[in-house]
């Protein structure tokens, strides 16, 4: 006769396949539902009930995107997995930015700058700080590879300075704008730096971007757990693309409601860009925090800094090409307040990265910087 604990274990084990099958069904259905809803609502004024439905499907698409990104990451291993999610989100985000700039007229002249800077602050302070805090609180100390993370931070700092700081000080054109030659140089430099970083991360020095133990030993998860099949990974790749298209498209659909809410509250228009950037980067935020909880802080930092780098390295070339068709100005230079925040972020990030390990204090410092950015966005 079986004992009661053994019967309970048996029932739990029988439930696991059912739960996995249920998870597989909803993570397949929600991205498809998001695309259908996007097609039905695109370019239309949405009543309040529909906005609520869109918001619910948007949240589901975010969770589905995280699930499929983790399936792909398990198949291809690190750092390829985090690269897939970062690049996929950024490509769709860039398409959204260019679309809004083409349709927005003179009001969109600062859209690219505001969106890219919001992405940098969210990733380098919000996501990074949250992951360091989560990892350090759960495992006492958050450990990562300072060589790979330092290279990523240096690339982000260089891209941000060339693309967002220099336009404020150039004199070829009035205002914080690049001339055509300067914009071309910034676009080409962004592509070259991003390409060099990806080659370093995935080919030449891949071990610099793998998780490490507290003793400094590299953890190559490819050598341990058996990943999903190639067919499963390809299906997840397609569903990831659908989910991300749904996230960005539905975020654009609810943006008029967000804009009216921001205006009713008397907040600056730049807050709209911050809210949309937070929605678009939500899949990466959830994936990064999950990695930090598993003591894979390096994976979290790959996602955070990789997203910041991709946002600049792909957005600037895209808007440089789009500027050929844009009639209004393209303002890229940051204000003095934002430059102070960027400089402080780079300095604090450097001091965080150098030791290769962080306590809750470092995570808290980055989160305070992120809170300062949000405060100044609401009260400039």
Q: Which residues pair with 218 in a beta bridge?
A: 212
The predicted structure's pLDDT at residue 224: 45
* Orientation angle between helical segments 282-293 and 230-264, nearest 10 degrees: 120
| Alpha helix ranges (H) inside the chain | 4-41, 48-76, 80-104, 111-121, 128-139, 146-160, 180-199, 230-264, 270-280, 282-293, 297-322, 336-353, 360-378
Of 252, 228, 255, 225, whose CA–CA distance to 239 is shortest? 228
> Which DSSP string do the residues of 280-291 spell out, in sequence order?
HTHHHHHHHHHH
**CA angle (116, 118, 120) in 5-degree steps:** 70
Q: What is the pLDDT of residue 122?
A: 93
- pLDDT recorded at residue 100: 67
Question: Distance (Å, rounded) from C-alpha 222 to C-alpha 77?
Answer: 6
pLDDT at 12: 47
- Residue 266 token pair: 């008397």
Distance in angstroms (rounded) separating the CA atoms of residues 147 and 206: 11
Contact 81, 71 (CB under 8 A): no
Which positions of the chain have pLDDT values less than 50? 8-9, 12, 16, 19, 223-224
pLDDT digits (tens, 9 = 90+) for 6-64: 554 455 455 545 545 555 578 888 888 888 888 888 777 777 788 888 888 887 887 78
Q: Can you give the pTM of this predicted structure?
A: 0.79
Across-strand partners of 212?
218
Rounded CA-CA distance 244/72 in Å is 14
Asked if residues 370 and 264 have their Cβ atoms less than 8 Å apart, the reply is no
Please state whether 179 falls in left (phi above 0), alpha (psi between -120 and 50) or beta: beta
What domains sit in the chain, N to C, each tagged with a CATH number? Answer: 27-220+227-378 (1.20.1420.30)
């Amino acid at each position: 006769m079986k004992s009661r604990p053994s019967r309970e274990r048996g029932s739990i084990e029988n439930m696991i396949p059912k739960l996995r099958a249920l998870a597989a069904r909803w993570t397949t259905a929600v991205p498809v539902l998001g695309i259908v809803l996007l097609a039905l609502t695109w370019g239309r004024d949405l009543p309040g009930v529909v906005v609520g439905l869109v918001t619910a499907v948007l949240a589901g698409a975010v969770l589905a995107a995280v699930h499929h990104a983790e399936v792909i990451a398990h198949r291809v291993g690190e750092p390829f997995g985090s690269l897939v999610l970062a690049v996929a989100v950024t490509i769709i985000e860039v398409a959204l930015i260019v679309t809004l700039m083409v349709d927005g007229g003179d009001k969109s002249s600062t859209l690219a700058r505001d969106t890219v800077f919001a992405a940098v602050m969210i990733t380098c302070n919000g996501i990074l700080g949250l992951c360091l805090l989560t990892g350090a609180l759960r495992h006492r100390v958050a450990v990562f590879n300072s060589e790979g993370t330092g290279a990523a931070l240096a690339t982000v700092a260089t891209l941000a300075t060339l693309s967002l700081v220099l336009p404020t000080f150039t004199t070829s054109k009035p205002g914080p704008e690049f001339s055509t030659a300067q914009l071309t140089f910034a676009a080409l430099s962004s592509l070259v730096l991003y390409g060099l970083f990806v080659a370093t991360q995935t080919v030449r020095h891949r071990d610099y971007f793998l998780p490490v133990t507290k003793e400094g030993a590299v953890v190559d998860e490819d050598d341990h757990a058996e990943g999903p099949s190639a067919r499963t990974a390809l299906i997840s790749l397609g569903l990831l693309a659908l989910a991300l298209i749904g996230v960005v498209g539905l975020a654009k659909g609810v943006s008029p409601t967000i804009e009216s809410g921001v205006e009713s509250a008397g907040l600056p228009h730049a807050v709209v860009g911050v809210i949309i950037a937070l929605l678009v980067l939500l899949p990466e935020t959830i994936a990064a925090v999950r990695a930090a909880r598993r003591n894979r802080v390096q994976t979290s930092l790959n996602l955070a800094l990789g997203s910041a780098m991709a946002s600049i390295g792909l957005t600037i070339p895209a808007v440089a090409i789009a500027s050929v068709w844009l009639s209004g100005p393209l303002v890229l230079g940051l204000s003095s307040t934002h430059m102070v925040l960027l400089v402080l972020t780079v300095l604090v990030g450097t001091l965080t990265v150098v030791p290769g390990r962080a306590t809750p204090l470092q995570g808290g410092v980055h989160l305070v910087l992120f809170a300062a950015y949000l405060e100044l966005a609401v009260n400039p």
